[in-house]
Structure 1
């Protein structure tokens, strides 16, 4: 048996952890560099996510007990889009898919589940990635990182560099220095309400009356040139998102999450009262520490592989969140990469990475564009193809655009090629 390949993974988020699992199973030695000093026990900007069937099947192969995943998630068996009329305090269902087959999870729960199934020796916490170099013969890759506690700079050598460093990827910028993310035209207020101990409160009873299928339904409320998302998470939590059209804000850090002031939160609460049903507006007002994400994506890349450097997750395909794709794409990226490396071996790394790119690029490219279209329809933005059927959305339930609202309209919704 040949010598094990060594992969250096930059980024300890779900994409990086997924790659660590997939490459370990493929027979590779892995090392994860992460600038955070410790695993996120309860991230202040933690939020909900939806896992599709393929991602769940993959995650189960990484866990010591496959049924653990169900213990950390709730079913999302219904996908429902509805209009909201605040004045009349009512809704009208536009689409309803009762065979949705996703599961809802809290981000930190899934991260912890994946992290706890890996050896601690895999991780270098508090290590800031700086740069990489590849020798002329392309036989290896050398990564520089700074240990944040001591400010010491170290070098690590491997056979493969995996960029799982997010939508603002430093590694991607090495190859595409002029690439600028595309601002969607809107930002997203997000929050998770923990109602533990208040299960029978007036507010929770009201929200369950207004949204009777909470606990199994992914709700989309469409208002005037805006939309919101609501679904339940395990352990008495409600996850909500509200997309607001606005000019592009100035980001003051290397993050798409903005700092928000109490004045901004107060204004958001006031606007919620004018736009949403009173039950949803009250839920938003009673949520502690809501935060604001600036929503970006990018046209599909032509390459996600350069020599022995490979992009995965948001570094490979920055996407808007409307198709619940980001986490699912990251997990499937990792799985396919692992299978290609296992099949080809360390000695044929170029062919393995080429196969990974051939399998994943057509899938993620279509999904990025579909997610963009979903967002533009729901925010009443002009569509790239000039289609203006969205303007009849609230009145014309027979419009073809209603089919576009369903998550099931996503290309490769449940059948992305994995090998």
Structure 2
């Protein structure tokens, strides 16, 4: 990098997208600062924060750390993608489709964040700093960012060559460039939770769930009912992650979050509905989960661009997506890898070319993945689609069931592009 001018990037957002970009931009020879409103990096394993890492993301993380065993030791294999149906009256299940070559790994969000964050210079992170505003210079060569220290209330200013917007699905940067573009409600919400069964490995609940789902620990189970579906898989440290999607009108959210506060009455009603919908083993897991919560499921119509002058969107700021293709974290990691590669290739003197190439590589991929994930969600929820009747697991043909498989996701395997051409 000695023949290239060193340049500075300001990354707003210290989530996985932000810290991944910090890592790849530093590797490309850039000076980096990261602004994050949270007071410290996440620790432990927050409830409801399970995710699946695809092979491309696993490979990237192995190349980013000098301790590749960290990922293996902190994840569990997801080698099977299985969709099955439940008859809510008879409480019996049957397999709709199965893929034994899935090759994902199950992780906690906080654990993955820790692996990517590990060994990055501590001085580049401004924890507890709330983004306030930004401005692009008249010559489009620099960007100024203002942020407030949440502890001291002091305002700071930073100037950089590039601003990386990694501020999530409610991105203020996307809103500033596209004020008319709104999040699109999917038509359903998700109850989520994690059951910690450490110390209770031989309880009736765990014996029952392992009997009903015998390949927990290596299988991603999708359970489909009539107009609803659920997901269950095992996470490290003796925990089960479950999600249950329910069709309903869009709730009114308060504050800047897609997570709803739930009351004890709401939880009790949810437990009663679970008894009507799912088999007893899954019902027990749901009922014994401490503090389940609700996510309102949104995505956004694919953007026509990801770059404005020297501001670039990455992660959920660039492509909010429904969770059915396990894309959100994987897309964020790929965004960071491609952005870092393009900046390394072109250098600061050709920043415009670097950002254009990033956009040309990632935009077609994430656009197709967002739309496919949307379609998968609507199929599994039994919602209307223009080209087919609502999916009914009781009557679906084998061809219709094939659409449920994760491997149908565009750019699912090794064909995901990292470079132009």
**Length-normalised TM-score, structure 1:** 0.97
Aligned partner of 1:245 in structure 2 is: 247
1:73-118 CA-to-partner distances (Å, cap 9, x unmatched) read 1100000000011322211100000000100001111111112231
Asked if structure 2 preserves the Cα contact closer than 8 Å seen for 1:45 and 1:291, the reply is no
SS at match of 1:347: helix
Q: What is the CA distance between 1:342 and its match in structure 2?
A: 0.3
What is the DSSP-based 3-state SS (H/G/I as helix, E as strand, rest coil) of the residue aligned with 1:209?
A: helix
Distance 1:90 1:118 in 2: 50
Aligned to 2:288: 286
The answer on whether the counterparts of 1:147 and 1:153 sit within 8 Å (CA) in structure 2 is: yes
Q: How many residues align?
A: 416
Q: Distance in 2 between matches of 1:22 and 1:294?
A: 32
- Report the counterpart of residue 416 of structure 1 in structure 2: 416
Unaligned residue ranges in structure 1 (runs of 5+): none
Asked whether the 8 Å contact 2:45–2:108 carries over to 1, the reply is no
Alignment correspondent of 1:116: 118
Q: Equivalences for 1:390-409 in 2 at 5 Å?
A: 390-398=390-398, 400-409=399-408
Q: Aligned partners of 1:286 and 1:71: how far apart in 2?
A: 27
Is the CA contact 2:48–2:192 (under 8 Å) kept in the aligned structure 1?
no
Shift of 1:392: 4.5
2:85–2:393 CA contact under 8 A, matched in 1:
no
Tell me the distance in 1 between the aligned counterparts of 2:339 and 2:418.
9
Q: Helix, strand or coil for the counterpart of 1:263?
A: helix
1:212 matched residue in structure 2: 214
Show the 5 A alignment for 1:55-66: 55-66=57-68
Larger deviation: 115-124 or 69-78? 115-124
Counterpart check, 1:82 vs 2:84: yes
What's the offset of the Cα at 1:393? 3.7
Would you say the 8 A contact 1:81–1:220 is kept in 2?
A: yes
1:35-184 equivalences under 5 Å are 35-42=37-44, 44-184=46-186
- State which of 305, 309, 312 in structure 1 corresponds to 2:311: 309
For each residue in 1:174-193, what CA deviation from the matched residue of structure 2 results, as whole angstroms up to 9, or x when unmatched?
10011111000000011111
Between the aligned partners of 1:59 and 1:80, the Cα distance in structure 2 is 26
3-state DSSP class of the match of 1:405? Answer: coil
1:342 to 344, 353, 359: 344
Residues 47, 190 of structure 1: 8 Å contact kept:
no
- Cα deviation for residue 358 of structure 1 reads 0.2
C-alpha contact 2:5 2:347 (8 A) present in aligned 1: no
Secondary structure in 1 aligned to 2:403? helix
State the match for 1:273 in structure 2.
Answer: 275
Q: How does 1:324-339 map to 2 (within 5 A)?
A: 324-339=326-341
- Does structure 2 retain, via aligned residues, the 8 Å contact 1:198–1:204? yes
Question: Which moved further from structure 2: 111-120 or 262-271?
Answer: 111-120
Alpha-carbon distance in structure 2 between the residues aligned to 1:353 and 1:291: 38
SS in 1 for 2:84: strand
Secondary structure of residue in 2 paired with 1:272: helix
Aligned equivalents of 2:153 and 2:141: distance in 1? 29
| Residues 64 and 117 in structure 1, CA contact (< 8 A), matched pair in contact too | no
State the alpha-carbon separation in 2 of the partners of residues 34 and 306 from structure 1: 22
Instruction: Answer whether contact 1:78 1:218 (CA < 8 A) is retained.
Output: yes
**Distance in structure 1 (CA, Å) of the matches to 2:48 and 2:23:** 22
Residue deviations 1:192-211 (CA, integer Å, cap 9, x gap): 11111111111100000000
Kept after mapping to 2: 8 A contact 1:214/1:231:
yes
Contact 1:46 1:108 in 2 (8 A): no
- Which whole-Å CA distance do the structure 1 matches of 2:207 and 2:235 have between them? 16
Q: From 5, 11, 15, give the equivalent of 1:9.
A: 11
Deviation at 1:269, TM superposition (A): 0.8
CA offset at residue 416 of structure 1? 0.8
Alignment match, 1:387 = 388
